[in-house]
């Protein structure tokens, strides 16, 4: 019998206790975590190992090793993706037959496949929010020279992000890195995405998970439009008169507002120096998330960070501290505003939402209560009311347990 081989950056001895001699389809339910799964061409199972949930995908050995390395690279360059744990090869069944290798990744906490999202939020607007998130992810991949080759909702996981969603790439076995993608390569990826998304929307409609009257083709076209807007904003060259240099700062600020940092600009002038052209050369997503992390140590999604920073700015204005150093005000806001709200989050319910998303929900609930009462409801009132009237009815998203996505209880958007 060939020896079992585990390739991992941080090997966990507990992996050896799993029944690698059995095909994944035959793994006993006693060791499985029944998480909602997306549609996959491969057999995928979730297992609990050393207190964490792992996704195990049965796949050809060459593809498993390639995808493992690809995910490691994506993680190093900051692309939202699942974290690879290792590759298991050398598997043999009881009869001595060789079994496929498996790729092991960490389950992304608080994430959902698109079908699980639609099991509780089936409006057409939900599709557009997912498409927006996917468009941002695809632009970030293309800026890094990554050709996905199989863009789809099925190959993506989604996490809540202050009323929107953040997209994470899951399946990269068809992906390839290039120094720079040509327009033809980008358009090919977009064509694949459009066709796949239209098919996935039609599948949702056939399963009564989305309005049958919704135009699936229109949803697919939304991706093209959203991607085009983002790509143009991030890459197009802009020209202006030499005495309009303020437009350079305006361009950078506009990209910052979209959540991107500009690390390098390409600046050129015409022969007589009357016209200046600028083009972003190096852009990096996560502007607000990095600022929030630097000021407070809070690790959040981009829209969550934007919302928390807005609350910090409002706190600064209300307390008349515009002239104070930002770091000092942030420390005061963290201790006096954010942390008391998070500490009020019942421990038994902390699997329902990430802490930054919970704080965002409290801010939304405070606004709703204030509108209803026609007065400024205090944060303490908002927290107590939310915990009593809203939080108990939300399902756990940290590691959502359900045998089928149809078993997930409906919630308010």
The pLDDT of residue 377: 92
Which residues neighbour 272 within 8 Å (Cβ) at sequence distance 6 or greater?
A: none
Least confident stretch, 33-47, 109-123, 152-166, 238-252: 33-47
Average pLDDT over residues 147-156: 94
Mean pLDDT of 38-67: 86
**Residue 381 pLDDT more than 70?**
yes
pLDDT for 39 beyond 70 = no
* pLDDT of 75 over the 90 cut: yes
Residue 143: predicted pLDDT? 93
Instruction: Quote the pLDDT of residue 273.
Output: 66
Taking CA atoms, 310 is separated from 147, 167, 305, 344, 394, in Å, by 35, 23, 8, 21, 25
The rounded distance, in Å, linking the Cα atoms of 158 and 57 is: 19
Residues in the chain: 413
DSSP structure class, residue 409: P
Q: What is the pLDDT of residue 401?
A: 41
Q: How far is 4 from 180, CA to CA, in rounded Å?
A: 39
- Count CA atoms within 13 Å of residue 352 on its CB side: 19
Provide the percentage of residues in the chain whose pLDDT is more than 70: 91
Lowest mean pLDDT among 40-54, 303-317, 347-361: 40-54
Cα–Cα separations (whole angstroms), residue 227 to 40, 210, 233:
25, 23, 10
Average confidence (pLDDT) over 151-177: 91
Q: Which of 128-132, 270-274, 308-312 has the lowest mean pLDDT?
A: 270-274
Q: Which stretch, 31-35, 162-166, 217-221, has highest mean pLDDT?
A: 217-221
| Paired tokens of 242 | 């030499």
DSSP 293-332: HHHH-----HHHHHHHHHHHHHHHHHTT-TTS-HHHHHHH
Question: pLDDT value at position 3?
Answer: 77
pLDDT confidence bin for 89, thresholds 50/70/90: very high
Contact 133, 167 (CB under 8 A): yes
pTM of the model: 0.81
The better pLDDT of the pair 308, 30 is held by 308
In the predicted model, is pLDDT for residue 408 greater than 50? no
Strand partners, 410: none
Model pLDDT, residue 134: 95
Q: What is the pLDDT of residue 360?
A: 94
With residue 47 as reference, give the H or E element that holds it.
strand 44-49
């Amino acid at each position: 019998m060939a020896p079992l081989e585990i390739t991992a950056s941080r090997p966990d001895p507990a992996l050896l206790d799993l029944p690698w001699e059995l095909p994944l389809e035959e793994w006993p339910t006693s060791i499985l975590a029944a998480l909602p799964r997306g549609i996959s061409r491969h057999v995928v199972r979730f297992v609990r190992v050393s207190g964490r949930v792992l996704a195990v995908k049965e796949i050809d050995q060459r593809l498993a090793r390639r995808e493992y390395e690809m995910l490691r690279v994506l993680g190093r360059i900051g692309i939202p993706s699942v974290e690879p744990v290792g590759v298991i090869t050398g598997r043999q069944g009881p009869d001595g037959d060789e079994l496929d290798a498996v790729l092991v990744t960490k389950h992304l906490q608080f994430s959902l496949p698109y079908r699980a999202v639609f099991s509780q939020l089936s409006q057409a607007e939900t599709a557009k929010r997912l498409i927006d998130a996917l468009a941002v992810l695809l632009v970030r991949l293309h800026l890094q020279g990554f050709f996905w080759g199989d863009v789809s909702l099925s190959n993506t996981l989604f996490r809540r992000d202050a009323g929107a969603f953040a997209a994470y790439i899951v399946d990269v076995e068809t992906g390839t890195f290039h120094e720079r993608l040509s327009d033809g390569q980008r358009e090919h990826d977009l064509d694949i995405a459009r066709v796949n998304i239209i098919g996935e929307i039609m599948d949702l409609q056939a399963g009564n998970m989305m309005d049958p009257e919704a135009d699936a083709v229109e949803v697919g076209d939304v991706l093209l439009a959203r991607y085009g807007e983002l790509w143009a904003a991030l890459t197009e060259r802009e020209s202006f008169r030499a005495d309009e240099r303020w437009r350079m700062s305006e361009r950078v600020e506009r990209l910052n507002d979209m959540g991107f940092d500009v690390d390098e600009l390409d600046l050129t002038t015409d022969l007589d120096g009357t016209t200046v052209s600028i083009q972003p050369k190096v852009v990096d997503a996560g502007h607000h998330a990095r600022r929030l992390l630097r000021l407070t140590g809070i690790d959040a999604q981009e829209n969550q960070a934007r919302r928390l920073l807005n609350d910090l700015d409002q706190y600064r204005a209300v307390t008349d501290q515009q002239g104070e150093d930002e770091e000092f005000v942030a420390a005061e806001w963290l201790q006096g505003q954010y942390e008391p709200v998070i500490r009020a989050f019942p421990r038994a319910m902390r699997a329902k939402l990430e802490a930054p998303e919970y704080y965002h929900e409290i801010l939304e609930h405070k606004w709703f209560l204030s509108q209803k009462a026609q007065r400024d409801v205090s944060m303490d009132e908002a927290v107590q009311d939310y915990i009593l009237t809203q939080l108990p009815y939300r399902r756990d998203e940290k590691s959502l347990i359900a045998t089928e996505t149809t078993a997930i209880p409906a919630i308010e958007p």
